[in-house]
Amino acid sequence: MSDSVFDDAVARLTRIGEMTGCSSQVINALSHPNAMMHVNVEVRMDDGHIHYFPGYRCQHNHVLGPTKGGIRFHPDVDAAEVQALALWMTLKCAVVNLPFGGAKGGVSVDPKALSPMELERLSRAYVRAMADFIGPERDIPAPDVYTNALIMGWMMDEYEKITRVKNPAVITGKPIALGGSLGRDDATGRGAYLCIKELQKRDCLTPEETTVAVQGFGNGGYHVARLLAEDGYKVVAVSDSQGGIYRSEGLDIKSVYQQKQEHKELKAIYCDGSVCETREHDTLSNDELLTLDVDILIPAALDSVITTDNANGIKARYLVEIANGPVTSDADAILKDKGIIVIPDILANAGGVTVSYFEWVQNRTGYRWDKDKVRDELHTVMSNAFNQANELVQNKGLDFRDAVYAVALTRLSEGIEAHGTPDYFNGG
């Protein structure tokens, strides 16, 4: 991934900031990460050799609180990617009014090529390298692409060995038995689902008459598809890295997911108990899925999949971003001209960091919440954030992305300018 990803994120921030009247001081502060750590993670492989994997952690901005953000294991991880993701996390936490700044980390590695023991050694070695850079009141990691609760448990355990203190609040997204939160498993998809339910109320959508396509069938994509299908929405297409499937009558999402977990392939399957049968369906590429004639398109996989090259082909009425940065800043204007309503990533996928915050709160207070409380609190947070942005859409004529950024920038501006403005220091 090139520097253009971070540059693109800053370009969008600058455009929206200037358009909404954000001060140049604030835009400048948010364009420069607070700190960046680059390490070589030393791992002894199963054959006895030592291998060094590039590792990164970016703390973007801590004006609203300690930084928060995931750790991803992926071959394309680089400094520019984690800086862009950390910037978006700063905005995301501000949008949903969490007392966190943004951070992100990762290791440039193909985790599928590692044995389970090598994966554990990599996870622990990353924490040893970053132990002085993270902490429950400084920077709190969480799972991201190709990391999960098991890996977070290893990382927490390694941190506690180094500090010799039990401190579950240092990491979120952990196994339930190690201090994880109920409701964390589907939080990202549920947050996007709650945004769509707010759209349903606002625009009087009829679920049974509303078609949905989801690019990316990982955790976030699966859960939003499942929740929408359970509500009666017609999910007609899903895809993974190998391609997608389409069925105009709609897919049985739970059965499709079961097939993928058991056989590592996508098929339009319907299961009744242990008996499954294949339904007639079409196959399509990820690019073809993006241009389907559906009501709601949900990119839930990679960044920069909608660009100036294909934006004119998008036919959906709504675009709900679960992936981080799936639409480039240059493509925004095209989608706006087409009248497509975009619910941006910094709101649509904020359910994950919100429930991670709930986990951090539970760890620090020593009091566990039940699943109903987690979901009720998540509903409140997502609904409030959506409606604050929607008020700007209705009263100020902003599009939804600009409105969501404006909510975030207002909170960040208040924090940054509370330390003093150029006018103050010049006697104003």
Confidence grade of residue 3 (pLDDT, cut at 50, 70, 90): low
Domains of the chain with CATH codes: 33-171 (3.40.50.10860), 187-301 (3.40.50.720)
AA identity, residue 267: K
pLDDT of residue 337: 95
- Size (the chain), residues: 428
Residue range 331-340, pLDDT digits in tens: 999 999 999 9
Is 104 tagged catalytic? yes
Q: Is the pLDDT of residue 15 over 80?
A: yes
**Cα–Cα distance measured from residue 248 to residue 211, given in angstroms and rounded to the nearest whole number:** 9
Output phi, psi for 136, to 5 deg. -65, -20
Q: Which of 68, 92, 104, 260 is catalytic?
A: 104
Confidence grade of residue 28 (pLDDT, cut at 50, 70, 90): very high
Q: Which residue has the tokens 């942005």?
A: 389
Q: What angle do CA 226, 227, 233 make, to 5 degrees?
A: 90
Output phi, psi for 139, to 5 deg. -155, 120
Strands 139-143 and 243-246: unpaired
Which of 1-10, 223-232, 269-278 has the highest average model confidence (pLDDT)?
223-232
Instruction: Give the percent of the chain with pLDDT over 90.
Output: 89
What six digits make up the tokens of 7?
A: 């540059």
Q: Is the pLDDT of residue 275 over 90?
A: no
Residue range 123-163, pLDDT digits in tens: 999 999 999 999 999 999 999 999 999 999 999 999 999 99
Q: Give the per-residue SS3 of the chain.
A: CCCHHHHHHHHHHHHHHHHCCCCHHHHHHHCCCCEEEEEEEEEECCCCCEEEEEEEEEEEECCCCCEEEEEEEECCCCHHHHHHHHHHHHHHHHHCCCCCEEEEEEEECCHHHCCHHHHHHHHHHHHHHHCCCCECCCEEEEECCCCCHHHHHHHHHHHHHHHCCCCHHHCCCCCHHHCCCCCCCCHHHHHHHHHHHHHHHHHCCCHHHCEEEEECCCHHHHHHHHHHHHCCCEEEEEEECCEEEECCCCCCHHHHHHHHHHHCCCCCEEEECCEEEECCCEEECHHHHHCCCCCEEEECCCCCCECCCCHHHCCCCEEECCCCCCECHHHHHHHHHCCCEEECHHHHCCHHHHHHHHHHHHHHHCCCCCHHHHHHHHHHHHHHHHHHHHHHHHHHCCCHHHHHHHHHHHHHHHHHHCCCCHHHHCCC
Q: What is the mean pLDDT of the chain?
A: 95
Instruction: Give the percent of the chain with pLDDT over 70.
Output: 99
Q: Is the pLDDT of residue 272 over 90?
A: no
Q: Which residue from 39, 31, 2 is spatially nearest to 14, judged by alpha carbons?
A: 31
Q: Are 190 and 223 contacting, i.e. CB atoms less than 8 angstroms apart?
A: yes
105-114, 326-335, 413-422 — which is least confidently predicted? Answer: 413-422
Confidence grade of residue 264 (pLDDT, cut at 50, 70, 90): confident
pLDDT of residue 421: 81
For the purposes of burial, counting CB atoms within 10 Å of the CB of 273, is it exposed (0-12), middle (13-18) or buried (19 or more)?
exposed
Give the predicted TM-score (pTM) of the model: 0.94
Q: Is the pLDDT of residue 266 over 90?
A: no
pLDDT of residue 227: 98
Q: Is the pLDDT of residue 321 over 50?
A: yes
Rounded to a whole number of angstroms, the distance between the first and last alpha carbons of the chain is 44
Q: Are 407 and 20 contacting, i.e. CB atoms less than 8 angstroms apart?
A: no
What six digits make up the tokens of 396?
A: 């100020």
Residue range 360-391, pLDDT digits in tens: 999 999 999 999 999 999 999 999 999 999 99
Q: Is the pLDDT of residue 2 over 90?
A: no
